Chain A
Amino acid sequence: MNTTRINDLLNILAVVQKPTTEAQSMNIIIFVIIVVIILVIVSTLYANKK
């Protein structure tokens, strides 16, 4: 059995962002996605609580 994947899955748990400008557009997209996720969830929870 090829154990490459198993070794890879024993990985270091650290997010490695792509450096600087080349990933900046990607960073903006992820940021917007995360903001939307948080805002939608928080507002839904708040609306349900009300």
Chain B
Amino acid sequence: MSKKIKNVNSTQEFDELIKNNRYVLVDFWAAWCAPCRMVAPVIDEIADKYSEKVRVAKVNVDDQQELSIRYGIQSIPTVIFFKEGKVASKEIGVKPMSSFANMIDSNIA
């Protein structure tokens, strides 16, 4: 995992993260999920490419059930882009780099 990615360990930590960063991209995943393992290197690339503009984080849905319920995660991987603390865009499932780049580019000024 890229060093630029923040691993979220509590709901409080998550709330601070989306409060203190204008743009946050969050990968909801779990260890048992094969499609999540496919997306992981893509998320690493995103974190490197957008390191100056976007904070990238990971939420393990098994450990952080409160957050997965809050954002209605029903299939993983789900990647959500937060703009000023609010959900701006969401991608579900295995997607190529370009899909995540698009969701960022279309939402940042």
Q: Do A and B come from one complex?
A: no
